[in-house]
Structure formats: C-alpha cells, structure tokens
A and B are shown apart, each in its own frame.
Chain A
Amino acid sequence: MASITTSSVSFHVPCSLKQNQVSNLKKVSLSFSGTSFPSLRLQPSRFRVACAAKPETVEKVCEIVRKQLALPADSAVSGESKFASLGADSLDTVEIVMGLEEEFGISVEEESAQTITTVQEAADMIENLKAKKA
C-alpha cells in the first residue's frame, strides 16, 4: 500500500510589487501542505501578490483612517480605498501611519510609509512587519 505523506513547507518568495510603478521587492512567506501550490491572488489593476491581510487588520486600518480624516462611521472605506481620495493630504498620511504604528506596535521606515496609498497596502505592510517581529 502506498502512503502519501504531506508536509508543511514554508519558503520565501520575492514578489515584485508595483506601487505607483516604483517596484519594491517584498519577501512573502507562504506555507502549504501537500503537493498543490497556493493560489496567488492577483489584483487586476496592479501587479502584486495579495498577502491576504486578516480582515480584522483591514477593518482596524479603516477605523484609524476614518478617525484621522474625520469621516463618518458609515462612510465607505475598504481595502481598495485610496487615502488621497478620502481626503488625506501629505500630513494626514504621516499621521495615519503613526496611528498604525501605535495601534499595532510596529515601526515603519519613512521610505515605506510614503509608498502606502491604500488601506489594503497599509494592512499588508502591518502584517509583514508583525510577521517579521514574531
């Protein structure tokens, strides 16, 4: 009788992300079991690998953004929302990042901070930084 053993493997895949067409290399750690490959979710408008930040993280980011930009609680803010479209100027963006640093206990370098333009990007970055800390 044949037996198949499955194993959990984690590896680093350099992903090339296009953010405002300045490419950044981000390391993504994926784990999978068995012989099937995980599917990479590609967003049609950008070449990026969505590292699937937890919904709670995205929601928390939305909350912080709403607060900073003084948007009503029921305003449409989601992963796709761009800070600028919600009314954020350069000062707001810095404050949003600081708010995220405090909330999630992470430290963001200026260069990374300035490449974040959407809620999803912020949430993904938070997950990456938290993972690195762990």
Chain B
Amino acid sequence: MSFLPNHEYSSITRFVKLGDQKRALVSRLLQYALVHQVLEIPFDEIIIRRTPEGKPYLVCDDMKLAFPNFNFNASHHGDFVAIASEPICLVGLDIVSHSVPKNETAHEFIQNFSSYFSSSEWYHIMHAGSSDEMLHIFYRYWCLKEAFVKAMGTGVGYKLDDVEFHHTNWNNIFVKVAGKELKDWKFWLLDLGQNHSVCIARGHPRTATTSYRTTLKRIEFDDKEYYNGFHLPNASFTFRTVEDLLQVIHGADRVPFDISTKCDVSEDEGSEGARFVQQ
C-alpha cells in the first residue's frame, strides 16, 4: 500500500474480507500505473478521485491532445482485476466470475434477477438448456449491463429491463434502450480463464451521467473525430503479475501501453502471490 497516496488507504481497508482488500489494492495500483504509462504523469502528481456514484476519474488540467478525453474504468471479481482506458469515448469494464450458487439451484438463483432483464434476454437465458448454460448466459448479460452502466457512471441505478442487448453468438453486440438502438455504443465480451467473463463497453461521452460528465474534458466531438475514437481497434488483454505492475510503478521496466489498453490481474484469494493480466 505504500505505493499509493495516503488518501487511498481507507478505500482499501474499508473492505472486510482480505480478498476484497487485495482486489481493491491491485485495482488502485493498476489505475495509477495506467495513468503513469499512458499520460506520463509522475506518480506523485497523479490525482484520482471518485464521483458521488463511486466512479474513479483522473484530475488533470493538462490533458495530452492525443487523448482528449482520457478516461478509464476498472473492475474486479473472482480471480481477476482489470482496467481499460479510452482516449475519446467513454469506457466501461466489468468482470463477472461465473460462480455456481450455493444455497439454491441455478434456476432459483437466476429468478431473483428477472426484473433486470428484457423479455428477449430472459427468453434466451431460460431456454439455454442446462443449468450451466443458463448461468453462463445470465452472467454474460449481467456483465454487459454492468459495463454499460459503469461506462456512464450511473452506478447501479438504472432501469435495466429497458436495456436490451443483442448479439450474434456474443459478437457484434449492440444495445437497445427503450426499444431504440444506441448506434454510438459498442460492446465486446470475452472469456477470461475458465469461468470468468469480461465486457468492455465503449460509448459516446454525452451519455455520461451528469456528475461524470463534469470530469470529462470534452463532451462533443465532430463526426470524424468521434468516428476515429469509436472505431479504434479493441486491444486484447495482456496478463501481468503484480510484481510486473510494481516494477512498472518503480519505472524499472517500461512496457508500452496501447492507448486502448487493458490489464488483468489474476489472484488467488488465499495466497500471497498474484498474477495479473494486462492487454
């Protein structure tokens, strides 16, 4: 924790479970390492704050022109911690671990969430076949919804049954909100390890929630600029260990970051060591 500024300590120690503390710590380290690498801001000058809804953002007066709207999002669940950033568009990231419910059947578990899915999504989940398949589909849709909501910065307060995801075998994913397709949003869903999914959402800055919008440098872009930002290739994930991350922080081993770069950290809940994955 000594690598982080003091004000971040309580945001980590507030977690009761050690695993959650570890994930929170690695998430913070990733955020600082990312900002340092991409924007070349010295560590002790990096200021990351959170909106009232809890979304972290960089406080920076002098943003590099190449990244007019640098913003990032991190997520941690299960064995992984990941981060993604975008230079122009909003980015949202979510990881879900496909955990099997303990005290109830998969069907019973999923029923709890029925009001958060549109009827077509629900149909897809319910007609999946086996319990395992149902869970997989359920978690993937949940992951998409979370990434979308996180990109906008609204936290979880959003009518999720109005948010309907469409895809062709989990490719070419797009979303309809209240029946209308959002053409300036894109989504990718990837499998991570054995039973994790990760989703990246990329969308137009003007869709950000009010509080998050104030943290962005620019909301409006001309069509061409936005087109370029929107159609940046989706970099794949790179896996790194926490040791690598700490080396980056120390400046000993500079690894080039793509402007749309993602890092994953895989970590065993019980062990001291951790591996992290970064794209």
Contact = CB atoms under 8 A, between A and B. Distances in A.
Contacts of B20: 87
Contacts of A5: none
Given A91-B113, A98-B112, A110-B116, A85 B15 contact: yes
A103 to B, nearest CB: 14
Contact of A22 (B14, B77, B157): B157
Nearest to A115: B157
Interface residues of A, number: 22
Nearest to B161: A110
Interface in A71-121: 71, 75-76, 82, 85-87, 89-91, 93-95, 98, 110-111, 114-115
A7 interface: no
A63 to B, nearest CB: 14
Contact of A110 (B52, B53, B159): B159
Contacts, number: 49
Nearest to A71: B16
Contacts of B115: 110
B155 interface: yes
A70 B116 CA distance: 24
A36 B256 CA distance: 69
A35 interface: no
Interface string B249-278: 000000000000000000000000000000
Given A94-B112, A94-B113, A110-B115, A21 B52 contact: yes
A85 B16 contact: yes
B14 A82 contact: yes
Contacts of B211: 21
B178 to A, nearest CB: 15
A21 B54 CA distance: 11
A114 B15 contact: no
Nearest to A93: B156
A90 B116 CA distance: 12
A85 B14 contact: yes
